[in-house]
Chain A
Amino acid sequence: MIEKKTGRQTFQMQHPPSINATASIVGPKEGKGPLAGYFDQTVDDEFWGEKSWEKAESKFMREVLSKVIAKASLPMDALDFVIAGDLLNQCIAANFGIRESNVPFFGVYGACSTIGEAMQIGAMLIDGGFAFNVACLTSSHFCSAEKQFRFPLELGSQRPPTAQWTVTGSGGIILSAEGDGPYITRITTGKIVDMGIKDQNNMGAAMAPAAADTIFAHFQDTGLPHDYYDMVVTGDLGMVGKHILEDILSSNGIHIGSLLNDCGLMIYDMKQDVHAGGSGCGCAATVFAGYLHDRMKKGKLERILFVPTGALLSPTSVQQGETIPCIAHAVAIENSKGGTQ
């Protein structure tokens, strides 16, 4: 008998882990966006004094880790685990960013949903009694992502209006067995969903069915009323994906259009020439660590369903003509431990 599992893919925390601190560092473009005031630091130079984009991205992660443990007033050796991931091949931003920390490490990959995956694993480690303090971190970098997934930066090419802009930034979260919240009360782990979209310039459309699948499963597994959360916030569906998500949810009887939001739409002003919105592992991570956590701490939001979304493609799979498998992980975060259960 698995006592914490409810339904097919949702898990109820018996001892909800507390989010004791968050930290976020972003690049110049994000630092000019509407959430500018909520990030801990804005870096003006995408290289951040390093010799390559990849080294710079590792530095983002390294600096976020030291910032977030400082904000939680924890020494590095009080961390039982670091769980981190990014978009680069073999997760080098995380592996190299964390290598000096001397903390047991799980490297995870869920594309832009990685922060959700990390928070779920961290929450289960704590609720399961395996850890007291866990750090969850992810990063992305516009330049290293362009280089890996698209073209060299200086190549004169156009993006279609459905394309999204990879966020330069890193967000980190400290989960702890004790603390005054907000708390992770339940999680719904996503399944891989592939609706046959091949266009890597329309990732929102590829990911929306995965987000819908996870959100639907969450409400079905928990039996919660559809308006239970103050906000259901996806990772990086962008304009096109959010519209599709609303449609799919409605046709499945979940009418929460006014509660839906998307980190990819929150982080930039649409005037910033980002087409359909932001994306990347750093998108959901920085918006949660910077903005959403702050709103919860100040009581403007009491409970949210945080649903980072990921497109699990690679440059090789795209060249081989594969469709894009996608995933979304839902994390329920509430200011009170009990919820309504």
Chain B
Amino acid sequence: MRETIIQYINAFVAGGLICAVGQVLIDKTKLTPARILVLFVSLGVVLTGLGVYEKIVEVGGAGATIPLTGFGYNLAKGAFRDVDKYGLLGAFTGGIRATAAGIAAAVFFSFLAALAVKPRAKT
């Protein structure tokens, strides 16, 4: 029980901190959100490649995998796994294989949402 609570607290702090870094970048650097997202996913891939992000995931759990850096983590982890299994080809198959569920879900659910609703104004 105590372990679970610590796990949740870690997820909260890790996820919160990653988002807070993003906010500081948006406010202070005038980087657009799209650029922040690109930066975060690329950073996630690189940090995983360097073996750093795995340690953050060990502590932060979902707090490290739910932010976009976690998407980069999954891409890099998948690429590594497939490279180890299939050689050079794995560099091309691994990333998308590991993230396929998320990408496919985002495309499909978004398509359904577009069929179902009209845009609405912010009032």
Contacts and interface: CB of A to CB of B under 8 A. Distances in A.
B89 to A, nearest CB: 36
Interface in A167-193: none
A199 B120 CA distance: 27
A139 to B, nearest CB: 16
Contacts of A157: 33
Nearest to A156: B33
B30 A154 contact: no
A39 B22 CA distance: 42
Interface residues of A, number: 15
A274 B6 CA distance: 41
A211 B119 CA distance: 36
Contacts of B119: 53, 143, 152-154
A28 B30 CA distance: 31
A291 to B, nearest CB: 21
Contacts of B25: none
A153 B120 contact: yes
B30 A46 contact: no
A143 B33 contact: no
Contacts of B30: 199
Contacts of A152: 119
B104 interface: no
Contacts of B120: 153-154
Nearest to B26: A158
Contacts of B123: 28-29, 46
Interface in A48-99: 53
Contacts of A29: 123
B118 to A, nearest CB: 8
A142 interface: yes
Contacts of A47: 118
B121 interface: yes
Interface in B100-123: 118-123
Interface string A12-47: 000000000000000111000000000000000011
Contact of B121 (A153, A158, A160, A199): A153
A157 B119 CA distance: 16
Nearest to B121: A46
A323 B121 CA distance: 29
Interface in A131-160: 142-143, 152-154, 157-158, 160
Interface centre among B26, B118, B121 (most CB of A within 10 A): B121
Contacts of A142: 121
A109 B122 CA distance: 27
A46 B118 CA distance: 12
Contacts of B33: 157
22 contacts: A27-B121, A28-B121, A28-B123, A29-B123, A46-B121, A46-B123, A47-B118, A53-B119, A142-B121, A143-B119, A143-B121, A152-B119, A153-B119, A153-B120, A153-B121, A153-B122, A154-B119, A154-B120, A157-B33, A158-B26, A160-B27, A199-B30
Interface of A: 27-29, 46-47, 53, 142-143, 152-154, 157-158, 160, 199
Given A27-B121, A153-B121, 12 more contacts: A28-B123, A46-B121, A46-B123, A53-B119, A142-B121, A143-B119, A143-B121, A153-B120, A154-B119, A154-B120, A157-B33, A199-B30
